[in-house]
Structure 1
């Protein structure tokens, strides 16, 4: 076994890997960019090495700097985590050339399965059914469009070089193929450095089921059952569970054997995942989609139902050990469900969020596990993936696991950074989810009923109570009535206090307190319409049942200067903190209503900024590469009537 392992990643996965390294008595080496100097994974490792400035291309994606860090710390092996260089054949090959064990499959296997086009051809030759789609690599935009028309709408555009939903585009309207291909190429290039695309038939109401495989260097390959990953947004998994309620034992065995054959077809070694698309009305008709040649985000649910530490066996396999299991040794006991906590704001269309974590509580114990890279004081920026943590619940049956996870999400507090925790809790209570009637489009169909779009009245009541408490003198003894903030009047009833408050993305509200309330250092309880509401609090932040609101004092002058309160229909503002990547217009250009003008990117997500109406670009305050804050004014489009007045 290795003495020292470098973890070439950040955030919750780095913390997760370090945990197993510590359990095995292996020295861990963390790496960090300047943005992560005080990150949790840096503090928890045995040693840490700075590898560059915040941009990933100059730090976490720099093979040279990672290898230098390994050499300086005496590491014998590198664990790539997931994301970044985890599925980069060049990195695996560079590790081998440097005498380092790469804790994952061989560079050849990564290269083969990382190219989705070659992967499909390879597993098809091994007898694994594949999704109908385009053939050949390096297709031009025109060839992709032709293949899409031949397959028939709807189709799915997919990057050949990567996964995780990045760059994937569902196209139902043939007229939009050109724009969608261009956008998919941009996202693929930004995420994977390769804009090669393929196109596949879209299966309506499909289920996404994946099989975990484990293979050693001695020819032994087994599978550890399946995970249901059908609950997705924008092709990104948000809830995963094991096992799937869809599969019976014969189908599970058949899919498992297909996954084993797929792994054998590329000479796989280590932990990997074979992903299938499955028609919900006919589970036996499953199709291979891709193979992820790395540890998956959702690996904890498999660990919980099998009792096998996948990171430990990644390490042991990389060190040359044989698997001690046969397929007959693998049993699935109980049920586990995982929820991904992401820095995004459901009330603002799930746009990426950011900020400083000012209060944090993460559930553990009693069948609940949290894998997290967070700590109080963590700065969440727009440079990296939005996933912050994962909450996983286990139970003897699915109903118990779901109930425990809902309770754990309600108990999750991440104040300072808007997250999707409350949204996920409501999703897990949806009747279709409870019944196990899932498909990859369910979340998008039901999203409006799961998002709290308006700020509840009790939130403003609680915020007003906090402010009133701060203004009210405490202690006993005489109080000068003229020092009271409530407008004391001789012989009269004190004037009620009212505060001008605003939650970003919502109109300002004037709010006073209408009943009794209790305010402590980290809690506030108010009574509204006969109901009692208790919130976690930290500064201007309030949280309850996984939801959080930043309720700040409204200052019309300051807000107008920043653009936060700008109500002019002509102004285009940044919907999220990020970077402007594309500017398609210049001052003076005539534009049509709905025309795409700019693209803002944050956390690997693109957001297109379109003209609110026909007119002329009167102002343009950004260029490609400009870093922008949320609600910052980017451009102004003056209507034609204003320009001619």
Structure 2
């Protein structure tokens, strides 16, 4: 591998750490890049050297081609590995690498250009006999013309950006009445995410399975298929669970998928790691249709590594250095990967941010993590913070091993989907392999069980320990008898009567005789996070006065009126304002949209009335921050009359 000996990783998080491991194992030096938000991130400290490339927003750092090239020159790197996401499929980066005589660890510029546009890619592979979903390119068409073509193809339809991937900007349209809104939303997201609002419309397969084939090409003209993966378990087009090989494909279909994937890759003389994605109809699994080709390493590549024994990053490095592909090894056993996201399943999967108070990774399985204890999870980047990969002799064993590993995963300080993942991998349909991309929706809404007595007791133990430690520090610092009396007063007044309030408004009393040995930690606001068997609760301590106040409020009849404030459900950027200030709105009408961690969420009017906007496009909103007020019509009339 003499073509380069210093590799810059133009990415962050778990994929940067994963690439660094292989780069080091290959005897090469690694260079990390980081934004201001990631200055203390784990990947920065693990690389041989690191270069700052800009402020926190991705557009000003990880997506800045010029900054990445400058970092490579500054560090002496002769090759750039883009990981996935960000610039991994960027034609501009590949061209800039060629101009700077830096090896781009990825395919050719031509392959990126063709496969990076869904319309062009569709035409390219169709010409090689690869089946595609019925649909059309909406480029250059008016909305009226799109409506005509949509009717010809037939509803339901899937609207998706021609550029980009990862499900961002995709909209399902059930009938013509919802087409205009879907087009507007898809264009807005596509323009913001990919600087390109061109759209493609395809017929929606009612019960699709998402199957992909890992392909590899070398500079000597060889292209091979290295196994398939099942990526059907998705939510909002984002993969949640992936496995290799696919579950229960009929005889002969897998071989046909491999042949179609190789033909697609050969059509662009593909070099490096790529993934050809297909839809398989769950009700007619003999049929499959090309979706797109991802011209990069995939998030789910570890399951292929587990069943083949290959290191796909090492293979990328060797191919980029001009070496020939080795023989494809046979598949052994079954592997399943779970993506851990910083999000709240109970709160509609809204993103969660904050400091990781404690992270305990399970032993006995592969864990690729972006975080460690003390890491800061911000709203600037993707919410995926870790992946857990289990490998067993068969599918049932792999799922069981994954569930057991999730039960031993501890993440405190930010909300995660670990508890939901456990429910998913133990679902009867999942275990039976009866999969389609709508399966997760059948498990929603997700409601976590109330914290157990052990969780509350553990929270009490940690809270009292922290209080005692803080009081001790105060005594040591001030030598004050009064300070010492604080702890004595707390214990004498009834530490045994400590109560907690859940985020859902439930008051829980701690039982003094319950076992209290669960992982727990106190955050900066004084709330206690506690974990048991993969589920986590955030418990806010209540003193006697606060406990009485909450209980009295609970006994009062609920007011029929709703609060006038429309609040941000998550921290993020205001990307759209849907109404004018002073407009009359109806309950449930979208007022503004907020985007964070690749999720766009509308804030709705709490009731009928007159809206007064408190934010504008481009503003940053905090979680719970009022973004608008809606004054009921009666109050508006009274105000006008009084004036």
TM-score (norm 2): 0.90
Q: Deviations over 1:453-501 (max 9, x none)?
A: 75556544543444355567999xxx9999353656xxxxx796243x3
Cα distance per residue 1:571-600 (max 9 Å; x no partner): 111101111122233442211222211011
Q: Which moved more, 1:178-187 or 1:230-239?
A: 178-187
Is 1:316–2:312 an aligned residue pair?
no
The correspondence of residues 580-595 of structure 1 with structure 2, limited to 5 A, is 580-595=574-589
Q: Secondary structure at the match of 2:110?
A: helix
Match status 1:151 vs 2:119 = no
Whether 1:435 aligns to 2:423 is no
Structure 1 partner of 2:371: 374
Aligned residues: 608
Cα distance, 1:382 vs structure 2: 0.7
Contact 1:223 1:256 in 2 (8 A): yes
Q: CA deviation at 1:604?
A: 1.6
1:497 corresponds to 2:493: no
Secondary structure at the aligned position of 2:287 is classed as coil
Alignment of 1:60-209 (within 5 A): 60-135=62-137, 137-209=139-211
Q: CA deviation at 1:308?
A: 1.1
Please report how far the alpha carbon of residue 377 of structure 1 lies from its aligned counterpart in structure 2 after TM superposition: 1.4
Identify the range of structure 1 (579-588 vs 22-31) with the bigger mean alpha-carbon deviation.
Answer: 579-588
**CA displacement, residues 595-635 of structure 1 (integer Å, 9 cap, x when unaligned):** 21101110121101121221011x43222222121111211
Q: Determine whether 1:614 maps to 2:608.
A: yes
Distance in 1 of aligned mates of 2:511 and 2:59: 53
User: Residues 340 and 416 of structure 2 are in contact (CA less than 8 Å); yes or no, is this contact kept in structure 1?
Assistant: yes
Question: Matched residue of 2:490: which SS?
Answer: coil
Structure 2 counterpart of 1:290? 292
| CA deviation vs aligned residue, 1:415-442 (integer Å, no higher than 9, x gap) | 1111111111110000001111111000
Deviation at 1:58, TM superposition (A): 0.9
**CA distances 1:504-530 after superposition (whole Å, capped 9, x unpaired):** 3x2252x43334145xxxxx34xxxxx
Q: What is the aligned partner in structure 1 of residue 448 from structure 2?
A: 452
Contact 2:357/2:521, CA 8 A, preserved across alignment: no
The equivalent residue for 1:247 is 249
- Aligned to 1:467, which of 448, 455, 463? 463
Q: What do residues 371-418 of structure 1 show as CA deviations (whole Å, max 9, x unaligned)? A: 111111111111111111110000111111111110111111111111
The secondary structure found in structure 1 opposite 2:332 is coil
Q: For residue 415 of structure 2, what is the aligned residue in structure 1? A: 418
Q: State the Cα distance separating 1:135 from its structure 2 match.
A: 3.6
Aligned to 2:42: 40
Partner of 1:483: 488
Work out the CA distance in 1 between the residues paired with 2:362 and 2:161: 36
Q: Is the 8 A contact 2:241 2:338 kept in 1?
A: yes
* Conserved 8 A contact 2:463-2:522: no
- Indicate if the aligned counterparts of 2:453 and 2:511 stay in contact, CA closer than 8 A: no
Structure 1 residue 139, shift from structure 2 partner: 3.8
2-side partners of 1:268 and 1:281: how far apart? 33
User: Which of these residues, 392, 401, 407, is aligned with residue 389 of structure 2?
Assistant: 392
Using the TM superposition, give the Cα deviation of residue 537 of structure 1 relative to its aligned residue in structure 2, in angstroms. 3.7
Judge conservation of contact 1:496–1:512 (CA < 8 Å) in 2: no
Paired residue secondary structure (2:121): helix
> In the superposition, relative to structure 1, how do residues 644 and 46 fare at CA in structure 2: closer, same or farther (>3 Å)?
same
> Per-residue CA shift, 1:199-257, capped at 9, x if unaligned?
00000111100000011011111101110010000011100000012224421111101
1:644 aligns with 2:642: no
- Note if contact 1:187-1:604 (Cα within 8 Å) is conserved in structure 2: no
Partner secondary structure for residue 551 of structure 1: strand
Shift of 1:195: 1.2
Distance 2:422 2:220 in 1: 44
* Whole-angstrom CA distance in 2 between matches of 1:421 and 1:601: 23
Residue among 620, 627, 639 paired with 2:620: 627
Residue 533 of structure 2 corresponds to residue 545 of structure 1: yes
What is the match of residue 343 of structure 1?
342
Distance 1:130 1:482, change over 3 A: closer
CA distance in 1, matches of 2:104, 2:251: 35
Instruction: Describe the shift of the 1:480–1:136 C-alpha distance in structure 2 as closer, same or farther (beyond 3 A).
Output: closer
SS, match of residue 243 in structure 2: strand
Alpha-carbon distance in 2 for matches of 1:138, 1:353: 39
Aligned to 1:507: 505
Cα distance, 1:319–1:591 mapped onto 2, change above 3 Å: same
Cα contact 1:109–1:266 (8 A) shared by 2: yes
Q: Give the match for residue 361 of structure 1.
A: 360
Query: In the superposition, relative to structure 1, how do residues 641 and 29 fare at CA in structure 2: closer, same or farther (>3 Å)?
Result: same
By how many angstroms is 1:535 displaced? 4.4
- TM-score where L is the length of structure 1: 0.90
Measure, in 1, the Cα distance between the counterparts of 2:629 and 2:176: 32
* Counterpart selection for 1:272 from 271, 274, 284: 274
Residues 138 and 201 in structure 2, CA contact (< 8 A), matched pair in contact too: no
Q: CA deviation at 1:174?
A: 2.0
Partner of 2:641: none
SS of the aligned residue for 1:543 comes to: strand
